[in-house]
Amino acid sequence: MTNPTFNRLKNPKKAAIERALLLEFSSYPLSEATVSRIVEEAGISRGAFYVYFSDLKDAYLYICREIIRRVHLSNPGNLEDGTPEKYIEAVKAFVGSTEAEGYMKFFARAFVDNAKVTKEIWREEAANPITWAVSLLCHETIRSIYKGSDAKECIERLRFALSKLLA
């Protein structure tokens, strides 16, 4: 868990650390990330890093949650009981905004290289089994796109699956 001291940092310093975390975890899987590169990029001491975060995994989970929050804020909307097209538009918007905001490489690593750790954030705990299934299908579609599969084919496969599931 991120230390409250980090949350009280002035914005320029906090932003520099967030940029360094984003760069590191976009460039390297968590298993190959280093505190050395992060502190050098952020312009902070190694000791300061450990005041803000307990370890690299903590730093990764922090920036992952923060980026997810930012992306979801730029794509608001309630998808409960949506139509297949509503879900498809949400997937397209998510992928599009991650590209536009420079998060594509980060999410590609999150879905592919760091999937085991990232699942700690993306636990599918929807009460409604249909909502749970739709969420899994949408996340798997995003994962396939980030792995390099043809986006149009992935979207069509999602459209077909959702039309059957939500019929």
Q: Which domains does the chain have, with CATH numbers?
A: 4-68 (1.10.357.10), 77-165 (no CATH)
Which of residues 128 and 151 earns the better pLDDT score?
151
Distance CA 17, CA 123 (A): 26
> What pLDDT digit, counting tens, does each position of 65-102 carry?
899 888 877 665 556 667 899 899 989 988 888 888 88
pTM of the model: 0.80
Residues 6+ apart with CB under 8 A from 121: 61, 64, 65, 68
Q: Which two tokens stand for residue 71?
A: 């992306």
Only one residue has tokens 């984003």, namely: 22
The pLDDT of residue 120 is above 90: no
The pLDDT of residue 125 is above 60: no
Q: What is the pLDDT of residue 159?
A: 96
